[in-house]
Structure 1
Amino acid sequence: MIRILDEIPLAADRIAPVLEALDRLYLPACEARGLALEQLWVSPPVAVPGQCNTLWLLWQVADVPAYYAMRSATGAEARAFWDQVEAACGSRRRHVLGSADQRLETPHVE
């Protein structure tokens, strides 16, 4: 299992529009790409005046080949969602995680 953790710093008033775009633009195409939303969080869980919150999206795909297949199947909906996210936050980070005890392989990418 590969997990993908997206870290998105946002002003508190931008969280709801990003979540709406997630539901409308990104999630409908995820299943066909083998990408499943496992969990989402906001940190801190309150709006602190003058400070950003962080939206965390935890995804999963079956394995390394599924990860690369998911990336190559990215369509216009995904690009539209991430364009909207980047306009709202200015920067984001994606962490791709696997079990530390799995054998690390060099992927075959064509």
Structure 2
Amino acid sequence: MVHAIDEIVAQPGEGKALLDDYLAHYALGARARGMKLEQILVSPPMWLDDQSNTLTFRWSLAGAGAWWQMRFVGGNDPDVAAWWAEVDVRAVSRRRFFASEPADIEGLCDV
């Protein structure tokens, strides 16, 4: 199992709207690319008008093959690039990183 974690620090007052847009637009395509949304976290746990909320989305992918497929399809989809360009305007920062359970690493490296 590979986890893709998106962390988006929204512009002040944009947290709830950005979460709604992520779920309505980005998440649909991500699911079609084989990603399963496992968890959403909002920090701090209240919607802020004058400060930033941090939105964290944890996705799972069924191994290295699914990860490569997701990267290939998403990397060649202009809608995905357009979505992230829109997020960049509405966010203070964003990052995506990938992780796995320690027990899964050996199998993920055997491709």
Query: Same fold per TM (> 0.5)?
Result: yes
> 1:22 and 1:49, CA in 2 relative to 1: closer, same or farther beyond 3 A?
closer
Match of 2:81 in 1: 79
Deviation of the 1:23 alpha carbon: 2.8
Task: Note the 1:62-101 alignment, pairs <5 A.
Answer: 62-74=62-74, 75-101=77-103
Provide the rounded CA distance (Å) in 1 between the counterparts of 2:19 and 2:49: 20
Provide the rounded CA distance (Å) in 2 between the counterparts of 1:31 and 1:50: 32
Task: Note the 1:22-61 alignment, pairs <5 A.
Answer: 22-47=22-47, 51-61=51-61
Provide the rounded CA distance (Å) in 2 between the counterparts of 1:48 and 1:19: 13
Secondary structure of 1:21's partner?
helix
Provide the rounded CA distance (Å) in 1 between the counterparts of 2:40 and 2:21: 14
Equivalenced residue count is 107
State the 4+ residue runs in structure 1 displaced beyond 4 angstroms: 47-50
Q: Is the helix fraction higher in 1 or 2?
A: 2
Give yes or no for contact 2:11–2:51 (8 Å, CA) kept in 1: yes
Match of 1:21 in 2: 21
Give yes or no for contact 1:18–1:84 (8 Å, CA) kept in 2: no
Specify every segment of 5 or more residues in structure 2 that has no aligned partner in the other structure, as ranges: none
Provide the rounded CA distance (Å) in 1 between the counterparts of 2:48 and 2:29: 34
Give yes or no for contact 2:10–2:18 (8 Å, CA) kept in 1: no
3-12 or 58-67, which deviates more: 3-12
Specify every segment of 5 or more residues in structure 1 that has no aligned partner in the other structure, as ranges: none
> 1:106 and 1:94, CA in 2 relative to 1: closer, same or farther beyond 3 A?
farther
Give yes or no for contact 1:29–1:77 (8 Å, CA) kept in 2: no
Give yes or no for contact 2:10–2:93 (8 Å, CA) kept in 1: no
> 1:69 and 1:11, CA in 2 relative to 1: closer, same or farther beyond 3 A?
same
> 1:49 and 1:9, CA in 2 relative to 1: closer, same or farther beyond 3 A?
same
